[in-house]
Amino acid sequence: MTRIKFFQELFQRYRRPGDKVFAVVFLLFALFLLSQLGEQTQWVKRTKWFAQPSLWPTVAVCGMVIFSAFHALGSFVSPRIPGRWTEVVFWLRSLEYVLYFLVYVVLVPLCGYLPTTLVFALFLALRAGFRSKQALGLVLLFAFSVAIIFRGFLQVKIPAGQIYNYLPDALRAFALTYL
Amino acid sequence: MDTLLSGISLLAQWDVMIALVIGSIGGVIIGALPGVGPAVAIAILLPATFAFEPIVGLTLLLGIYGSSMYGGAIPAILINTPGTPVNALTTYDGYPMTKRGQGHRALSLAYSASFFGGIFSVVCLIVLSPLLALIAPHFGSREIFLAAFMGILLVVVAHRGQTFAAGMLACFGIFLNTVGLEPVKYTRRFTFEQSWLTSGFDLIVVVLGLFAISQAFLLLIDKDHAPGDTHVDGNMFSGLKELLGIKRIAGAASSLGVLMGMIPGVGEFTAQFLSYTYAQKTSKDPESFGDGSPEGLVASEAANNAVPGAAMIPLLALGIPGEALTAMMLSVFYVHNVIPGPQLFENQLDFVMALYVALILLNVIVLVFLLFSTNLLLKIIQIPTRFLGIMILTLSFIGVYSLRNSITDCAVAAGFGVFGLILKRLNLPIVPIILGMVLGGIMEVKLRSAMAAVKTPIDFISRPIAAIIFVMIVGILILHVRTLIKEHKAKTKPEPLGPDTEHSSQQG
């Protein structure tokens, strides 16, 4: 009993809700990588150990397995905290914004950087609960400034929107270069 | 002297000066905004700086790095919310002073201490530079390998109470760096026959995901709030005079900041912890610490502001970044084919000097700006957090997409954004991943070249500097084990586990 208590005290640590889920998933991920080590890396003939392509992946994956095993152990022997699944739901809620972000990324080369950024920022503002004209106006101003500064002024490498090809001649060249 | 003048002439260009002013003032504003740290800002701006000359890009990033902690002290003192994680200790003494109606005194003292720390570190570096230029060429492959290994080791053991988590995340970083087509034998590593994995994980994509996009998600999902309206009256110059009375603490704290900044893997938190402990132990009034002690405030602010300058040392002299922000700066060098390391110190000391002078100038610009515009800044920081989230996500897109116009990069960055959000929610450190990625790559290359000249294992540490670093590594391990045993023995009854005893593990 004393030994178990000593063991528990040795590995107990401060945690937050959801820690156990993360610790287990990370350990499983590390074990998966370990199982793939032979398949996904090569041991090359006539090459010394320090130049082997599989040396550093082996070091890294073994380190991940060992440390994540201890991390998970610490999680299991520490006092239980309520709210684990509420926390996991919180993590999953970020996927909604991942989706918005990726839709934005796909639309930029099609609809052009400036128009897509204006719509994206406005949509996010509405989704985040902003309703006042002042807030929405500021969001649009911000999106407009970002697009003009980075693509127009700093000429950051963002492709022109395909939609710009349908603009009248006078405006097309300008839009393709600056908007 | 000639190198110093040559360095100054490098800075005397309009684009460098504009970058310095924008970086310094932008850094203060970013630092003052709770929820946005210098890491987020540097990650976002990084790809944009690739288009500039190295000195312009680095000055901009250095400006943000060096000035953000000044700004972070403002909400820490006035509203008990640290602007950047390293200002958390400032709240201990700064906020109680505000509650006693001494907000302007605390702010003025914090600015003065920060200025002292910043300038002190740069002066130390300028004085030390000739010595560093002398030592740096003696760092061969094995010394750099050992120094990089020490960096990984330190970043793991420095996360007290989270050593296992830091270890697994550092190893995860090393793993990420190995994914893709390996450049020497051209074999594939963990590509799972997916073409998008062949080119591996780009450091900037990972950095943007872990620091910036994760923060945007966090701010957008969490409850919306904005710092309340507050105002500060009084003479902001008074702190400069008051600091003279506490110069012993300021000097010790700055020295510790310089020392901790120079050691890879250690940083502001350790420097602050040591200087605060020193200040408390040697104070005539130790009870007042944590309850509005000007000495505590100075110890915290002088130490953290002395770190950025010193952190440039391992980066410039050895090419080894000590923490996440300098790791990001390393990519600016790589993009321009300037490889920091002993040769840089040997052949381009004027470039190094230019960066040091830029650090001095940024401290002056920030101090002058803050002495006159604190109240303006207090108005700016009232941006609602969700609004900040929108801003960060919009800007992050530019960072990731402009790299190579890849939708896959954006998807990978978004994936790391979710991963970073989970780590932040669990208060697990992100920095070990970044250091693992950067230092892992350095270790792989340097081990390969070092072993070519090594016949027996003892050869590896037969040179003086390699031997010193090896002894330091062994010393760190012994000290860590000793501390663990001591802590365990001292634990007669378990510490109360809960939010009161935790501190943030996030940097930037």
Coil/strand/helix, residue B481? helix
Whether the pLDDT of residue B493 is over 60: the answer is: no
Q: Could you give the CA distance from residue B126 to residue B312 in angstroms, rounded to a whole number?
A: 12
Closest residue of chain B to A41, computed from CA coordinates: B189
Closest-CA distance, A158 to chain B, in angstroms, reads 6
- Find the closest chain A residue to B399 by CA distance: A156
pLDDT recorded at residue B127: 84
Q: Which of B169, B205, B394 to mutate to test the interface with A (most CBs of A within 10 A)?
A: B394
| Residues B426, A61: C-beta atoms closer than 8 Å | no
| Cβ–Cβ gap B220/A97 under 8 Å | yes
Range of weakest confidence among A78-92, B31-45, B353-367: B31-45
Count of beta carbons in the 10 Å neighbourhood of residue B460: 19
C-alpha distance from residue B418 to each of A121, B203, B371, B410 (Å): 20, 17, 39, 12
**DSSP one-letter string for B26-53:** HHHHHHHSTT--HHHHHHHHHHHHTTS-
In degrees and rounded to multiples of 5, residue B380 shows phi and psi of -65, -40
- What are the chain B neighbours of A48 within 8 Å (beta carbons)? 451
Contact B184, B395 (CB under 8 A): no
CB contact under 8 A, A102 and B422: no
Of B464, B468, B141, B136, nearest to B316 by C-alpha is B136
Q: Which residue of B has its CA nearest to A34?
A: B190
CB A62 within 8 A of CB A37: no
Q: Where are the domains of chain B?
A: 2-501
**Residue A52 — pLDDT band, cuts 50, 70, 90?**
very high
The residue assigned the tokens 């009993």 is A1
- A105 and B407: CB-CB below 8 Å? yes
Task: Reply yes or no on whether the pLDDT at B495 is more than 70.
Answer: no
CA dist A24 → A29, A30, B66, B371 (Å): 9, 10, 39, 50
Distance CA B274, CA B256 (A): 7
Q: Which of A30, A47, A91 sits opposite B185 (nearest CB)?
A: A47
Within 10 Å of residue A94's Cβ, how many Cβ atoms? 24
Within a 10 A sphere around the Cβ of A141, how many other Cβ atoms? 12
Q: Is the pLDDT of residue B265 over 80?
A: no
Distance CA B23, CA B43 (A): 14
Closest Cβ–Cβ partner in B168, B191, B410 for A26: B168
CA distance A171 to chain B (A): 24
Q: How far apart are CA B507 and CA B423, in angstroms?
A: 12
Grouping H, G, I as helix, E, B as strand and the rest as coil, residue B180 is strand
Q: How do residues B48-76 score in pLDDT, each as one tens digit?
A: 787 788 888 889 988 998 898 888 899 88
Q: CA A87 to CA B270: how far, in whole Å?
A: 30
Contact A56 B440 (CB under 8 A): yes
CA distance B142 to B258: 25
Chain A partners of B497 at a C-beta cutoff of 8 Å?
12-14, 78-79
Closest CA to B183 of B445, B496, B501, B504: B445
Q: Do A64 and B401 touch (CB under 8 A)?
A: no
* Token code pair at residue B94: 């700064």
List residues bridging with B180 in a β-sheet.
B189
Distance CA B215, CA B217 (A): 5
Kindly report, residue by residue over B220-255, the tens digit of the pLDDT. Answer: 998 877 777 777 777 767 777 888 888 899 999 999
Nearest to A90 by CA among B270, B220, B278, B38: B220
Q: Closest Cα partner for B107 from B71, B133, B59?
A: B71
What DSSP designation does B322 have?
S
Do residues B50 and B43 lie in contact, with contact meaning Cβ atoms separated by under 8 Å? no
How many separate helices (H) and strands (E) can be counted in chain B?
22, 2
Contacts of A105 in chain B (CB under 8 A): 397, 401, 407, 410-411
Distance linking the first and last C-alpha atoms of chain B? 35
**How far away is chain B from the Cα of A28, in angstroms, using its nearest Cα?**
13
Torsion angle of the four alpha carbons A49, A53, A56, A62, in this order, in degrees rounded to the nearest 10: -90
Report pLDDT digits (tens) over B282-327: 988 888 888 889 999 999 999 989 998 888 888 888 888 887 888 8
Q: Does residue A136 or residue A11 have the better pLDDT?
A: A136
Closest alpha carbon within chain B to A117:
B394
Q: What is the mean pLDDT of chain A?
A: 90
User: Mean per-residue pLDDT for B396-414?
Assistant: 92
Token pair, residue B251, equals 């000097």
Contact between chains at B498 and A14 (C-beta distance less than 8 A): yes
Q: For chains A and B, count residue pairs whose Cβ atoms are closer than 8 Å.
A: 202
Comparing alpha-carbon positions, the chain B residue that sits nearest to A23 is B165
Q: What ranges make up the beta strands (E) of B188-312?
A: 188-189
Question: Which chain B residues are closer than 8 Å to A159 by Cβ?
Answer: 405
Residue A176 — pLDDT band, cuts 50, 70, 90?
Answer: confident
pLDDT tens-digit series, residues B351-362:
888 888 898 999
Q: Closest to A44 (Cβ–Cβ): which among B48, B187, B443? A: B187
CA nearest to B271, candidates B53, B113, B71, B452 = B113
Nearest by CB to residue A90, choosing from B184, B221, B389, is B221
Q: B181: part of which helix (H) or strand (E)?
A: strand B180-181
